[in-house]
Structure formats: structure tokens, C-alpha cells
Chain A
């Protein structure tokens, strides 16, 4: 299964949409125009972009922090995303989830969870559901290297391995958990080494290279579809931004990654080198994506605020009353 020219251009549009949307989000956030708390995936876009051509619409996706790129790569409701970022009622989660919990069940996508490491056991459950579903359905479960230090990583991967669940676990290894470098919090260089504990394949790739991620993901996803069980794909990448709060990364290191290992720039250069992306086409795509983001931002901004009464809606499948109609006090 080789990527066609059309596939590559589609990936380009996806990676660019993620970049421009997340950059816009970060800028607006810094200017105080977005409420809440954000976890951008800037610098990590190659991973969701590559997976957009590996996963099928009926596969299940679960992520941990920084799931915005996956939401976009799964073609989640884009305007609804922006309404959510502004905390509006028309937001895909009605303003209740916010940027860290991007959920579009029509796209079978849970892109985000604020409990670091919860993704590994939820993803295991998604794999169970995929196993029952059959027809080659798989679950893809993404999370940062910091979250692999939680017990849930061990419990989830061990469970998935022993039950041979159709899951590709993906570690988005971005070198920092909060503001601690990996060397301060773990003794292995590669999270993929941990796959040995579960007797499953563990593969490390350059997570900023779309083609490398795609090739490895394609094989591991095929393996899962064929019933050979889970695997662990480690994508070495780098987060360019903090969490939108005041955490500090090493500025020099960020600049190095931005100038020498920018996944969007690397991918664009490769397409240009292959003669797939002519300057005029590149310009057209950029214009289209920029316009799409601008329209979504404008839409999100003018959406309505939820009313205070909505704060107690959506807790249960029925209103908070007991079965005899009595008020639940």
C-alpha cells in the first residue's frame, strides 16, 4: 500500500490545517481571547497527519494530552471545534469539554483526556470493543512519553497483549513531561524498549517525518487488523509550546527543533523535491486552509454562550429525577 500523489497532497492539507489551526489557537490564547486551558500539538503534527491515511473511518481513536491534531486528522467537526475553543454552546461538546477533551463520536474519536495516562486503559477498552466489532476494526491509542510512567500504561498494555487486542499504541515522545526532560524522569532512552515487557513489537521512528511514521504505522495497523495483536510505535518528536500556562521549555532547544526539524516544512520540502507540490498548488492549498481556519474562528467567536442552567445537563442519560418523578435532591 503505497501513498499516491493524491494521498500525499491530502496529507499535506491535513498537516497544514493542524498547523494553522493550532497556531491560531495558541496566538488567540496568548492574547487572552480564548478561555480555559489548552494543550497545543505544535511540532507534533506529522503523527496525526500520517495516521489520517492509515486509519479507516470505522476505527476507534483515543488520545491523551495534545489531541487537537488527531481530532482534525479524523475530520472531526471543524467549526464545532472552534466554537468549543471559544467555550460556546454550539461547540462540539457544548462548552463542557474544552480543548483538552475533543470528542466527536460520529468520527469515533476521543481526542484528549486531561488525566495523564488514562488514555492507555481507555484505549485498551476501545481495542476490546474493536475486537467484538470484528471486520478488521482496530483502535489507535496515542499518548506522550510522560504518561508511560503511569501504572495505567503497564496495566493497559499488559491486558491488551495477553488478550491480543487489535490496538496500535503510539507514544508521541516529545521529550518533556511538564517541564522535566525525559532524562530526569525515566531511565530508558526509548519507550519502545518497554514493549519487551509485553512481548509485543516496539518500534521507534522519527516522529517528525510523515513518511517514516506512515510506513511503520501502516505495518502495525495491518498486523492488528489481521489479528496479531497490539504493538507499540514510538514517534520521536518535540512539543514547541508549553501547556498554555507558564511552564517553560528550554528556548534554544525549541528554536533548534523549529528551524531544523519542523515536520510541516520537512514534509513540504519532500513533496516539492518529488515534484508533487508546485509553488502555485502550494499557494492554493495554503490559501484554502487559511480561509477555512479564518471562517471557523469567525464562526466560533459569534456563537452563543451557554445559559447557566445547562451546567447540570448531560450528567446522566435522563434528567436528575428518580424513576418515580421525584426531584433528586
Chain B
């Protein structure tokens, strides 16, 4: 067990998988050379594995994703990087129509063992085209798996599971998590895709969330504890498959639910979770489900405006209190 940053954990995990399986290769914009990744996540990998297995690409998102699909179909295990998750819009055809549907249209003949790593860049002042996230688009695509680890330890286990999975996986990182440290086992382990984890146990309210907001939720839970409110924090870890079993267990235990995520509330990941809870466990609810999510607006450039939209600890606390008042 060692303490490691989220970004370094991803780097080391990529390295381990490159060493383990010669079918694994990385590709993306500026992931090697002097840059070593726009966030330095792939530091030193091209130097170690060469320009073929750690391949820099033109700025061609459709070609990166499409070539990942083509290479996966013909036996490779590509791990492609799309520099910001908002840029997935540039290759949604390759994700939605090709990666997700290939196995199905082939009647199960084709495997598409590919990963797209992509960092969400929120809480930043880069404006509406760099920032933004499309998590809800992704879970709406049949055949695509989506994971979003919140801790270095989960990042390692989920990245290994994603690379070894025979289906296409979108691996959502977060720029605000790259510098977060955590304890990581040095064992070769996988965190199974589709399994959520209770990051903090509680009895009064369940906060269901993922990614960066797991940390905000844990801080919120700590503060609320001082006010006598016992909060459970469920980290989804996978957005698809969704761990409905764990979600329902937590809901049945507390009877009050806050679903928190960074993307817009309308048609968001939280809408799916809330609807599922309403369908399966409405009788267990003591108050209406509260979604803490962004308004229907693009990401602005001005910091004041960014903060106005951003989901944080305080907004989560407000959401929890609302469920108690009801």
C-alpha cells in the first residue's frame, strides 16, 4: 500500500497493462513527446514503450475513436484518449453507432475491447467548449459501458477492469481529481464494472453520486454529522451498468435520497437514477428525491459564473436539508 496521486495511479496502471498485454496500446493527442499528455498523465510512457504502442495522433477525434473501434474489432485492445470529455461530441458516431452497436449487428461475432479515457474539465475557466460533460449521452448508448472513478484506488481497479473488458468502456477521469492522493494497493486487482461502493455509512439520508462529487459529498456528510444528521455516501463508480442493487439497498435503509452530479439536471444521469428508485422503491421513501445538478446552461468562462453553476459541498448540504425538512 502506498499513497499516490490519481494521475500517477492512472499512469502506473497504463504502464502495467502495456507490460502485461502486447495487444494493449495507447493513442491520443500529444500523449507522448515533450508534452507527455496535456495533463502529464501519460508521462514517460512513450519513452518506455515507443511511438507505436504510445501513439500520438493528429487532432482528429473521429479518427481516434473510429480507429480504436477498427483496431479493437481486428484483435487489439486500444486505450484512446480524448483530451476533454466535452470533445466526445466530435466522435459520438464512432462511440454510439460503431463501438456500441458492433457486437450486436454482428450477431455476437465481434468483440470491441476498447477504452476511451477522457477527463472531464469542470470548475475551470476555459469556457463552454473545453468544459462540459456528456455522461448522460453515453449511458443512453446501448453497448457502451461507462465508469467514473473517484479515488486513486478505484481508478486503478476500474482501469484494469476496463482494459480487460471485451466491451467498449468510456473511462471518465476528472481534471480536479488528478492531484487528489489516496492509498493504493500494489496488487494486480480489478474493481468490477457495475459495482458501486458505500464510501461512508449513514442512516438518515443517502447521497448517491460519482466522480469528483464523492469528495464533496463526504465533506458534506462530515459537516452534517455535527448537526446530528447521519449521511450515507454511495459512490456509483460505474454509470453503466448501474448498480441498482446497492442503490436500492441504501434507499431502503435511509428513506431519503439526494442524487448529485455535475451535468445538467434535465435528462441527466440523476434522472435515470431517480426514475429507477421511483419505480422500484417509492414505498420506502420518506420524502421526495432531490437532484442536485446543474441548470440547463453551458459552462461560462467567468469564474463567478462558473461557481454559480458548479455543484459543490454547500449545494449538496442544501439538498440534504431539503430532504429532512420534507
| Distance in Å: Cβ of B245 to nearest Cβ of chain A | 3
Partner of A159 from the list B58, B76, B106 (CB cut-off 8 Å) is B58
A307 to B163, CA, bound (A): 33
- For B232-272 the 0/1 string (1 means CB < 8 A from A) is 00000010011111100000000000000000000000000
**A124 and B242 in contact, given A314-B103, A329-B279 (Cβ under 8 angstroms):** no
Interface contact tally, CB-CB below 8 A: 178
- For B68-80 the 0/1 string (1 means CB < 8 A from A) is 1111111110100
Q: Nearest chain-B residue to A327 (Cβ)? A: B244
Taking CB atoms, residues of chain A closer than 8 Å to B224 are: none
Q: Do A329 and B242 touch (CB < 8 A)?
A: yes
Q: Do B67 and A121 touch (CB < 8 A)?
A: yes
How many chain A residues touch B (CB < 8 A): the figure is: 56
Q: Do A96 and B104 touch (CB < 8 A)?
A: yes
**A129 and B71 in contact, given A103-B109, A155-B58 (Cβ under 8 angstroms):** yes
Q: Do B109 and A126 touch (CB < 8 A)?
A: no
User: At the interface, yes or no: A283 with Cβ under 8 Å from chain B?
Assistant: no
Q: Do A128 and B110 touch (CB < 8 A)?
A: no
| Distance in Å: Cβ of A20 to nearest Cβ of chain B | 25
A94 to B108, CA, bound (A): 9
Stretch in A65-73, A174-182, A273-281, A315-323 with 4+ CB within 8 Å of B: A315-323
Taking CB atoms, residues of chain A closer than 8 Å to B93 are: 115, 118
Q: Do B107 and A96 touch (CB < 8 A)?
A: yes
User: At the interface, yes or no: B38 with Cβ under 8 Å from chain A?
Assistant: no
Partner of B63 from the list A108, A115, A159 (CB cut-off 8 Å) is A159
Q: Nearest chain-A residue to B103 (Cβ)? A: A314
User: At the interface, yes or no: B105 with Cβ under 8 Å from chain A?
Assistant: yes
Taking CB atoms, residues of chain B closer than 8 Å to A126 are: 70-71, 73-74
Taking CB atoms, residues of chain A closer than 8 Å to B74 are: 60, 108, 125-126, 129-130, 133, 139
Stretch in B6-14, B187-195, B316-324 with 4+ CB within 8 Å of A: B187-195
| Distance in Å: Cβ of A318 to nearest Cβ of chain B | 8
Q: Do A129 and B70 touch (CB < 8 A)?
A: yes
User: At the interface, yes or no: A105 with Cβ under 8 Å from chain B?
Assistant: yes
- For A217-241 the 0/1 string (1 means CB < 8 A from B) is 0000000000000000000000000
Q: Do A324 and B103 touch (CB < 8 A)?
A: no
Taking CB atoms, residues of chain A closer than 8 Å to B94 are: 118, 121
Which B100-123 residues sit within 8 Å CB-CB of chain A? 103-111
Which B149-173 residues sit within 8 Å CB-CB of chain A? 165-167
Partner of A125 from the list B66, B142, B279 (CB cut-off 8 Å) is B66
A325 to B243, CA, bound (A): 10
Q: Do A128 and B98 touch (CB < 8 A)?
A: no
Q: Nearest chain-A residue to B143 (Cβ)? A: A315
User: At the interface, yes or no: B2 with Cβ under 8 Å from chain A?
Assistant: no
Partner of A323 from the list B62, B63, B192, B244 (CB cut-off 8 Å) is B192
Q: Do B107 and A92 touch (CB < 8 A)?
A: yes
A206 to B129, CA, bound (A): 46
A interface majority secondary structure: mixed
A43 to B223, CA, bound (A): 73
Q: Do A122 and B98 touch (CB < 8 A)?
A: yes
| Distance in Å: Cβ of B281 to nearest Cβ of chain A | 11
Taking CB atoms, residues of chain A closer than 8 Å to B198 are: none
Q: Do A159 and B60 touch (CB < 8 A)?
A: yes
Q: Do A122 and B70 touch (CB < 8 A)?
A: yes
| Distance in Å: Cβ of A98 to nearest Cβ of chain B | 8
From B63, B166, B238, B244, residue with most partner A Cβ within 10 Å: B63
A315 to B258, CA, bound (A): 31
User: At the interface, yes or no: B55 with Cβ under 8 Å from chain A?
Assistant: yes
Taking CB atoms, residues of chain A closer than 8 Å to B166 are: 317
Q: Do B71 and A128 touch (CB < 8 A)?
A: yes
A131 to B142, CA, bound (A): 30
A139 to B74, CA, bound (A): 10
A324 to B237, CA, bound (A): 14
A282 to B256, CA, bound (A): 79
Which A136-182 residues sit within 8 Å CB-CB of chain B? 139, 151-152, 155-156, 158-159, 162-163
Taking CB atoms, residues of chain A closer than 8 Å to B76 are: 128-129, 132
Q: Nearest chain-A residue to B243 (Cβ)? A: A322
User: Can you show 21 pairs from A to B with CB atoms below 8 A apart?
Assistant: A93-B106, A103-B110, A108-B74, A115-B98, A118-B93, A122-B73, A123-B70, A124-B70, A128-B67, A128-B71, A128-B76, A129-B74, A129-B76, A133-B75, A139-B74, A152-B62, A156-B67, A315-B143, A322-B245, A323-B241, A324-B245
Q: Given contacts A122-B69, A125-B66, A162-B58, could you give 16 more A-B pairs where the C-beta distance is less than 8 Å?
A: A93-B109, A94-B107, A101-B106, A110-B73, A129-B71, A132-B52, A155-B66, A156-B67, A314-B107, A315-B104, A317-B103, A317-B165, A322-B245, A326-B243, A328-B242, A329-B242
Q: Which 8 A-B pairs have the closest CB atoms?
A: A125-B70, A121-B66, A326-B245, A322-B194, A94-B107, A129-B74, A323-B192, A93-B107
Which residues does B use to contact A, with CB under 8 Å? Answer: 23, 25, 52, 55, 57-58, 60, 62-76, 78, 93-94, 97-98, 103-111, 142-143, 145, 165-167, 192-195, 238, 241-246, 276, 279-280
Which residues does A use to contact B, with CB under 8 Å? Answer: 60, 62, 91-97, 101, 103-105, 108, 110, 113, 115, 118, 120-133, 139, 151-152, 155-156, 158-159, 162-163, 313-317, 320-329
